[in-house]
Amino acid sequence: MLREHSLFIRRVLIYVHVAISFLSYAASVQLRERILIRDREFHFDEWTHLVLATTGIAMLALLHSLFGLYRSGRLQGFIVDVRRMALAHAITFGALLAIAAGLRLGQTNRLQLGLFIAVNGIALTALQLFIRGVAAAARRRGYNFRQLLVVVHEPSALTQVLREVEEHAWWGLRVTGVVIPPLEGDTHEQIKALTPANAEVVPMANGERFLDLHPVDELWIQALPAAETPAWNLAQAATTRGISVRSLLPHDLLQGARWSVEQIGGLTTLTAARVPLDQFALALKRPFDLALAGFTLLLTAPIMLLAALLVACSGGFPILFRQERVGLNGRKFTLLKFRTMHRDAESRLAGLKARNEMQGPVFKMKDDPRVTTIGRWLRRLSIDELPQLWNVLRGEMSIVGPRPPLPSEVNVYEPSQRRRLSVRPGITGLWQVKGRNEITSFDHWVALDLEYIDRWSLGLDLKILLRTIPAVLFAKGAR
């Protein structure tokens, strides 16, 4: 019954979103045509409006569905919803601009598309606020709660559940019963003492009967129950009755890992990873890399040609510097850069080790005598990095990511530092916008890369790209 109710709510929410989007499109047309620019002819005809409105609204509905915005937002915050809506609207706006360019629509017409995205985003955000406000008001009156039956065999587990439910009152959860298996010593009494006054203490043998006599929306079980145990049988009984079952993993199990359940053929796996698990966002990252790398290569082709001529004229060949680096999960690849050093730079490195300004296995030196005059300018303007766009097109690197390390650096990594290799290395990253060569601690460098992995999102990539532009233009931290 609960599943049918959720599907009904989801369908209603989709219909409401689509209706608001159509109204937002109509409002943007009126705003553009009658209020903002009255003295210019509006070039959209009815068929153009139909194509753009239908495409935009269909894309928004699809992206909102993929981002989980039509599912219950009970266990996620309002800010998470807003970020996902903003990303969906940004992607849709880009697609509509591409269609407008294909149809050769003018600048004033693109303004109307921007108005549609803005009006619709504000309207849907207001709808989310309204829904959450109504839900909160209902809970204050004792309605709209999900009833939990919790199975625990340790007092600490129940304490954690009760604390989380209390601290996140907006989840709308209420513990209605605590199932206790047969336990030795005084553990049983400790759990009973922690049980809320409005919740019932249930012996394991009476768990299934409790499901039949009381409203229960979810069953939470401490740890994964072993097969054919009483907890296992209770979980089976709950799912048979259409009640959701959640397994409570130890809070200190693989700290920092993200968990997900996956179906692999006939296998069901519980996956722990300290890398981003948002598969849809990760799927968007690669096309984004390809598009941006291809566009930047075309845009900077004259600059790269000039740089190649300067390198050749000032120091002869080779023009490109090739170096083995370590990429995704230890894969080795050849990184490309414009050569900025004299050709005997590698053989002179040993004599300069004592002047290393970097703490750790990385070598960095201000006023490195191996750098050529032209190379110093190429580095200062980051032009020497442009050939790495080819590494991006080949799938060896990403636009944004951790710095690609040398094999010699990886050989002395601590186990925790090897997590840098769990994502594709990037041309720019947090290390680029937070100091670049001004960072003298290898541990700090690694910490920034790990922070990027832990916080990764498409929004963070965009933020880093926007901060990279002034860092490059003003040569912040460049040498």
Give the pLDDT confidence score for residue 325 in this predicted structure.
93
Q: Which two tokens stand for residue 37?
A: 């620019």
Give the pLDDT confidence score for residue 399 in this predicted structure.
93
Alpha carbon of 283 to those of 277, 289, 392, 423, 454: distances in Å? 11, 11, 15, 13, 18
Give the pLDDT confidence score for residue 38 in this predicted structure.
53
Give the pLDDT confidence score for residue 130 in this predicted structure.
87
Contact 163, 233 (CB under 8 A): no
Q: For residue 471, give every residue at least 6 positions away whose Cβ sits within 8 Å of its Cβ, in sequence order, or none.
A: 432, 433, 436, 477
Give the pLDDT confidence score for residue 426 in this predicted structure.
92
For residue 352, give the DSSP letter: G
Give the pLDDT confidence score for residue 36 in this predicted structure.
57
CATH architecture of 146-253: 3-Layer(aba) Sandwich (3.40)
Of the CA atoms within 13 Å of residue 46, those in its CB half-sphere come to 0
Residues of the chain with pLDDT under 50: 1-2, 39, 41-42
Q: Which of 332, 327, 284 is nearest to 456 (CA)?
A: 284
Q: For residue 354, give every residue at least 6 positions away whose Cβ sits within 8 Å of its Cβ, in sequence order, or none.
A: none
- CATH 3.40.50.1380 residue ranges in the chain? 146-253
Give the pLDDT confidence score for residue 2 in this predicted structure.
46
Residue range 106-126, pLDDT digits in tens: 555 677 788 888 999 999 999
Give the pLDDT confidence score for residue 1 in this predicted structure.
45
